[in-house]
Structures are given as C-alpha cells and as structure tokens.
A and B are shown apart, each in its own frame.
Chain A
C-alpha cells in the first residue's frame, strides 16, 4: 500500500506540473499585469514593469522562476491590491475546506440513506418520490436552486412572518455580532444544500443501483437463509459491498464539488476559493489566478488519492500490484 501511494504521488506530480504550466501560460496570455500602467505618462513605465516582473523572458523561463519561488513559499503579490497571495489563499482555503467537509459529509450520508431506502423498498411510493426528486435535482441549475432556496427558506419567511433574522442566513459563514454552533449551522444550511443538491441526486441513484445489485447476490440470499435479521443482512452484507462502486464515483465527483463552490460562494458571499477565483478573474489578477488553479488542482489530486486509498481499504480484493 505505501508503495502504491508513493507511485500514485509520483504520477500526480508530472500531471500537476503540466497542468500548472499550461494554466500558467494560459493565464499569462489572457491577463496583462501591466494593464493599469497603460494610462501612465511615462512611455517606459510598462517596459520597466515588464522587466521587473520578468515578463520579457520566454514563458518557460517565467514558469520556472515562478515555480521555484512557489515551492519556496513565495507565492507572489496580487497584481491589484499588492497583498501577499499566500495569506489571501490561506484565508480563502479555510472557508472552502469547511464547505467541502460538510458538503461531502452531508451528501454521502443523505445519498446513502436515500439509496438504501430506495433499494430496500424498491418501487414503493417513497422510492418513486426520491426517483422523481433526483431527476429534478439533476436537471436543476445549481445557482437557481440556491436563489430559490434563499427565497423560500430564508428571505421569504423573514418577510412573511416579519422576523428580524431569517431562519437560515444567506450571507457569509458567521454573523458579525453573534457566534456559536447554532449561528454557524444557520449559516451553513443553505450553502451546503446548494452545493450538494446535484451530487445527492446523482449519488443516491448510484447507491440505489449498486445496492440492488448487491442485494441480488448469492451471499445475501445465504445470509437470509441462515435466518439473519433483514436489516442485519442489509447493513452487514449488502451495504458494505454496495459502498465500493460509490466510492469510485465520489472520487471522480470531487472536482465537480470544487466547480460548485464557485457558484455557491458567489451566491452566499462566502469569502472562499470560489469567490477568490471570480473576484480575481473579474479584476484580471493573474498572480492570484495562477496560484488558485495550482492549489485547486493539488487539492483535487489529493482527494482522488485519498479516495483510492479508501477504495483499497474497503475492498480487500484490490491488490496494489
């Protein structure tokens, strides 16, 4: 196992390097960090700035310089605000990690619960209801779902019942004047819901199918025949095996989750990685964008690796040859 992880990491590094180089080149070609100097009276200002930033060198050299600095912890300055990029990203990352943690936890628990229920009570009224809901969940644009959720679960109730605060908050992760678990939870509900609705819809369908598949296995029939309780068979025998394919899908969908963050954080004004991306993109902040893409890519690779390891732990048949 350790050697497998090492090999996976070794494979990830070139992918990360190539990806970061392409993104670096792409972002550099798209945004000009000297754009704000165009109005300058000094005709040499742009040239001087380009030389200072090393923009006059070939792109490969620029990338190499950037990479050396990056690996030494110097992530550069924002080309707009001149803040250090590293603290900016670190602050944003913390908010995003919270969202991702709760997002994965909620979607896994809810999707598995729905999947098991739908498989055990196949073709029941509840199964049909969840199936219809999952079709709608998959077809719903996530940002619209977020807005509708605010309208009907937060802003709407506040207006209808003349409350000072909505039942669920929809700006940021903490109130300015309050703290504590309840306040935090009231801030989290809507963003996490928006982030996970599509994922829950797709994972629960997947879990239902793999659960049905597992429950038709001979070992389940054998366990039943020996007189094990129905739920015992479902959880001890069928569920464990149905989890394996789901974990693979989960790993692949982590990237999707990062994409969803861009929308969620924008709607709920959460200062995380998604919002940092949109803000930097609108302002043409190349330095932040490059770091953003590399950090995000590293995270996705890390999560994929984690899922692979979990996959091996769940399924002893898997050999890391």
Chain B
C-alpha cells in the first residue's frame, strides 16, 4: 500500500480512508426511493420563478373568485358624484366615469377572464388529446384530417375566423368558450400526435401488443401516460393563449357584452381615455392580464423542465 500515496491526495476513497458504514446509514442515503411524481415535484420546486408564479396565480384566482366577500364595494356600485378619479386610499385603482371602484370591477371581470381561459384550455386539451392520439396511433384518415385541418388554419388568421364565428354563434361567455375550444384544439393535437408517433415504436408497446392488449388499452395505459408531460405543458400555455385571445376579441368588440365584463372588455371601454386624465383606467386591467399570463407562462416553463430533466434552459 505504500506505493500508492497519491491516492489520498486525489481524494479517491480507498478501503483504508473510507469510514466504516454504520448500520442504517447505507439505507438512508443511497436508496431513497422516489416515485416519478416525487422526482417531478422536486424538479418543479427547484424552478424558482415557477413556484413564485404558482403562488401568485393561486392568490389571484382566490381574490377574483371571492370578490363577493373581498371586494371593497358591491359589484356595479356607482357613485356618480365623484366620477372618474385616479388611484387613492379609498379606491386603490381609481374609479371610472360612473364612479365604480376599479379594484372591485377588476376582481369581478377576472372571474370571466380566468373562467374562459381555464375552460378553453381544459376542453381544447381534451379534444386535442383524443384526436391527436387517434391520429398518431392509427395514422389513417384521422391523421390526414388533422394535418389538412391545421393546414387550413395556418392559412387564415385565427382571429378572423374567431371573430366571424362569434358574430354567427353569439357572444355569451359560454359560446365564446366553445368557439375558442372548437378552433383551438389543433395545436395540442399535433403535439400529442407527434409524441404518440415516437412512443408507439417503443419496445414496451410492442410487448403490450404481443401480450394481447387491445388498441384502446395500449393508448390509455401505455401511450398517454408517457405523453402526459407535453400535454400538461401545452394545456398550461393554452390557458394563457385563451386569456389573451378572449381579451383581444373583447377589445375589438366581439367578446362578452355588458353587463358581463372581462379584463379585455374593461380595456375596450378605456381605449378612448388614452392621453387623457382618465388614463389610469388603462393600466390596471392590462396589468392583471400581464401578470396572469406571465405567471401561467412561467408555470408552463417549470412544468416543462420538471417533466424533461434533460432539457437545458
């Protein structure tokens, strides 16, 4: 052993310098068994912005949906004598022409914006996942249909089709949700399709097929669980996209109509006040939109990193 003095300098454990294992220690350190989900959570929690964003978003959703209890004023409470005033201690976000408290308005409008964003994301993800999985697995006419349908939508601006559809089918919140979902599933379908195309060539799928599993079982039990990452990430991003699309449509005059109000609707009402003393009406609904979308995007980023440990940010 005297011929190898350098080993200790290199800090390579030898039999001599390795401390004897104490009973129990080995089991504690080397073989902590973590499930997929625990690993996922550890990685997600390491993404600082995603964690902060989740907290902010939960707070925002909570504040908006408990507006009936939390809001400083009742909904649509007018005070015509004060009219439009800037932010103050009494009205944090100021008031509009009718003297309505803007903080209250933003909380109630947020309910519609968030509801539309969430509902559209859930519905379009469901449709997109089912059709994308069918197209990817069977790759027959469903595949052709999906690809051609997306080709068509790449050709005409989505906002144009959405606006015409709303003109045709009406502009209540639930109709808008259905229209946005009906025209918004294609992107996620393409993502699911491409994932399924690669996963279905894996050995375990072959093994499942060899042991007599039906197509339905292979898709539901083997393929979809292995594409859950991209599906969840894109569902998250779909929330952001839907919220922005709804606000844009509202801004152009094709969204929800009064007395229903959303953040986009509030901005449409405030458009004329650019450059006037009432410009504060522009700031807060837009900030609410910005913060919501920013948070959702960060959460999507965090999910992506957590599901795909190989990805480098």
Contacts of B251 in A (CB 8 A): 141, 143, 263
With contacts A259-B160, A262-B160, A263-B251 taken as known, whether A147 is within 8 angstroms of B152 at the C-beta atoms is no
Of B158, B164, B297, which contacts A259 at CB under 8 A? Answer: B158
Docked Cα-Cα span, A263 to B253, in Å, equals 11
Interface residues of B in 264-313 (CB under 8 A from A): 264, 267, 270-271, 274-275, 279, 282-283, 286, 289-290, 293-294, 297-298
Q: Which single residue of chain A is at the shortest CB-CB distance from B294? A: A139
Contact of B151 with A by CB under 8 A? yes
Task: Give A29 Cβ to nearest chain B Cβ, in Å.
Answer: 7
Query: From residue A257, how far is it (CB to closest CB) to chain B in Å?
Result: 9
Does B142 make an interface contact (CB < 8 A)? no
Provide the residues of chain B in CB contact with A16, threshold 8 Å.
155
Instruction: Report yes or no: B271 in contact with A281, Cβ–Cβ below 8 A.
Output: no
Q: Is the CB of B279 within 8 A of A141?
A: no
Q: Does the CB pair B274–A155 fall under 8 Å?
A: yes
Q: Is A175 in the interface zone, CB < 8 Å from B?
A: no
B54: Cβ under 8 A from any A Cβ: no
Query: Does any Cβ of B come within 8 Å of A289's Cβ?
Result: yes
Q: In the complex, what distance in Å separates the CA atom of A304 from the CA atom of B270?
A: 37
Chain A min CB distance to B229 (Å): 20
* B55 touches A (CB below 8 Å): no
Chain A residues touching B, range: 35 or more
B160 neighbours in A (Cβ, 8 Å): 259, 262, 277, 292-293, 296
CB closest chain-B residue, reference A298: B155
Contact B164 A281 (CB under 8 A): yes
Minimum distance in angstroms from B84 CB to a CB of chain A = 15
Asked if B167 CB lies within 8 Å of chain A CBs, one says yes
Residues of chain B within 8 A of A258, CB atoms compared: 157
The reply to whether B290 and A151 contact each other, CB–CB distance below 8 Å, is no
Tell me, in angstroms, the Cα distance from A19 to B270 when the chains sit together: 36
The answer to whether the Cβ of A105 comes within 8 Å of any Cβ in the partner chain is no
Question: Count of chain B residues with Cβ under 8 Å from any Cβ of A?
Answer: 39
Contact A29 B168 (CB under 8 A): yes
Q: Cβ of A135: which chain B residues have Cβ within 8 Å of it? A: 294, 297-298
Q: Per-position contact with A for B165-187: 1 when CB-CB < 8 Å, else 0?
A: 10110000000000000000000
Q: Which of B246-275 touch A at CB < 8 Å?
A: 247-248, 251-254, 264, 267, 270-271, 274-275
In the complex, A138 Cα to B293 Cα: how many Å? 9
B286 touches A263 (CB 8 A): no
Distance between Cα atoms of A301 and B194 in the complex (Å): 24
Q: How far is the CA of A89 from the CA of B267 in the complex (A)?
A: 30
Contacts of A289-321 to chain B: CB distance below 8 A? 289, 292-293, 296-297, 300-301, 304
Asked if B244 CB lies within 8 Å of chain A CBs, one says yes
Residues of A within 8 A of B293 (CB): 139-141
A142 / chain B contacts, CB cutoff of 8 Å: 248
Q: What are 13 inter-chain pairs, A to B, with CB distance below 8 A?
A: A22-B152, A30-B167, A135-B297, A135-B298, A143-B248, A144-B290, A147-B270, A148-B283, A151-B274, A262-B160, A281-B167, A281-B254, A297-B156
- Chain B interfacial positions (CB closer than 8 Å to A): 148, 151-152, 154-160, 163-165, 167-168, 240, 244, 247-248, 251-254, 264, 267, 270-271, 274-275, 279, 282-283, 286, 289-290, 293-294, 297-298
